[in-house]
Amino acid sequence: MKNDLIAAIEAGGTKFNCAIGTGPDDIRLSTRIETTTPMETMREVIAFFDHGARQVGKFNALGIGAFGPLDLNKNSDTYGYITTTPKEGWKYTDLLGSLRDVFHVPMAIDTDVNAAALGEYTWGNGRQCDPLIYITVGTGVGGGVLINGKPLHGAMHPEIGHLFIPAIMSDAPEPDGVCPFHGSCVEGLLSGPAIAARWGAPAENFPAEHECWGEFSTLMALALANLTLTLSPQRIILGGGVMHQTQLFPMIQEELQRVLNGYLQTYELMEGVRDYVVPPGLGDQAGILGAMAMAQQLL
C-alpha cells in the first residue's frame, strides 16, 4: 500500500545509498555507506535499517537495486547474488540472503538501472512510457528496460552498457576503449573513465563546447539508434554523472535523427524528439526511489 514504510537500498560500487520512506516526498531517513568488503558494508547496512526501524517505524518491505551482474532467476541457487562482477571482493556475494537472514519482510531485488527505470516510471520522467529505457553514464554505463511497466529480465537482464557501437557510422577513427571485456563497447567509450582516458582529464573538466562532447553525442546516438530499432521504446532517460553535461541532450537528439536518417517516421523521433531522450525527473535519486517502488509493488 502507498503509505507503508519501505526500506530501500541502492547498492553501488562506490557507495550503498539506504533509505526508509514511502516515496520521493517522504524519505524519513537516509544514509550513504561506503562500499568496502561485503562483510563490513552489509554489517553497516543492516545496522542502519535496524536502528532506523526503531527510530522511524517498522518497514514492511525492502527493495534492492544493485550493481551486477546479478542472478535474478528465482529458481537458481544463487538468486539474489552479485555474480561475476569485476569489483574486488564482491564476486558471488549473497546480497539478498544476507538481508533475508535478518529482516523478515518481503524483498525485491533488481539491477540498479532496472530499479532506476521503475523509479522514473512511477514518479519521474518515465510515466506512461512503454517500453521505457533508463541508461546511466557514470563510472560505468548500465541500462534498464521496462516493458509494460515491468523490468525486462529474460536469460539474465539487459547489459546495455556493453553494446557494440558501429564505428563505421562515426567520422572519427575508432578510439581505443577501456572496457576490460570488449575494449570499445559503449562503456569502453562513453563512461566517465573512458572519456578521461581518451581526452586526458576527468570528464567534468571539459567545457560544454569541447570536441569530446561532439564525439560522445555521435557514439551515444549510435547506441540509442540500436536500442530504438530493437526495443521501440517510447522514451529513453539518460542519467549518471556524465549526463550532468546538459548540453548533450540536444546534441544527442540531433545526432540520433541524423543517424536514423528519416527511417522511423514516429512522433518520438520527429517533432517529439525533445521528449524522447531526456534527463531523469528524479535526478540522482532515481535508483534509490526505484528500489522503493519495487518493494512497494510487493505489498
**For ligand ADP, which stretch binds (CB under 6 A), given 33-41, 82-90, 200-208, 248-256?**
200-208
User: Does 180 engage in binding with Zn ion (CB under 5 A)?
Assistant: no
User: Does 138 engage in binding with ligand ADP (CB under 6 A)?
Assistant: yes
Closest CB to ligand ADP among residues 126, 140 = 140
Quote the least distance from Cβ 14 to ligand ADP, whole Å: 5
User: Does 242 engage in binding with ligand ADP (CB under 6 A)?
Assistant: yes
Distance CA 256, CA 249 (A): 11
The identity of residue 200, as a single letter, is G
Binding mask 49-68 for Zn ion (x = CB under 5 A): --------------------
Pairing state of beta strands 235-239 and 132-137?
parallel
**Nearest 10 degrees: CA dihedral of 165, 152, 95, 134?**
50
C-beta of residue 135 within 8 angstroms of C-beta of residue 238: yes
C-beta of residue 138 within 8 angstroms of C-beta of residue 242: yes
H/E element, 225: helix 211-231
H/E element, 137: strand 132-137
Quote the least distance from Cβ 206 to ligand ADP, whole Å: 7
How many residues bind ligand ADP (CB under 6 A)? The answer is 14
Q: Which of residues 135-164 bind Zn ion (CB under 5 A)?
A: 162
- Straight-line distance from the first to the last Cα atom of the chain, in angstroms, rounded to the nearest whole number: 6
Closest CB to Zn ion among residues 38, 142 = 142
User: Does 106 engage in binding with ligand ADP (CB under 6 A)?
Assistant: no
Closest CB to ligand ADP among residues 184, 191 = 191
**For ligand ADP, which stretch binds (CB under 6 A), given 32-40, 51-59, 202-210, 250-258?**
202-210
Tell me which residue of 230, 236, 247 sits closest to 125, measured CA to CA: 236
Q: Which three cell numbers stand for residue 10?
A: 541502492
C-beta of residue 15 within 8 angstroms of C-beta of residue 32: yes
Binding mask 9-38 for ligand ADP (x = CB under 6 A): ---x-x------------------------
CB nearest ligand ADP: which residue? 192
User: Does 28 engage in binding with Zn ion (CB under 5 A)?
Assistant: no
Closest CB to ligand ADP among residues 116, 146 = 116
Closest CB to Zn ion among residues 75, 181 = 181
Own/partner contacts of 246-249, CB < 8 Å, gap of 24 or more, are 246/279, 247/208, 247/213, 248/213, 248/216, 248/217, 248/220, 249/277, 249/278, 249/279
Distance CA 134, CA 118 (A): 9
C-beta of residue 260 within 8 angstroms of C-beta of residue 225: yes
Closest CB to ligand ADP among residues 158, 161 = 161
Q: Which residues bind ligand ADP (CB under 6 A)?
A: 12, 14, 138-139, 192-193, 202-204, 240-242, 244-245
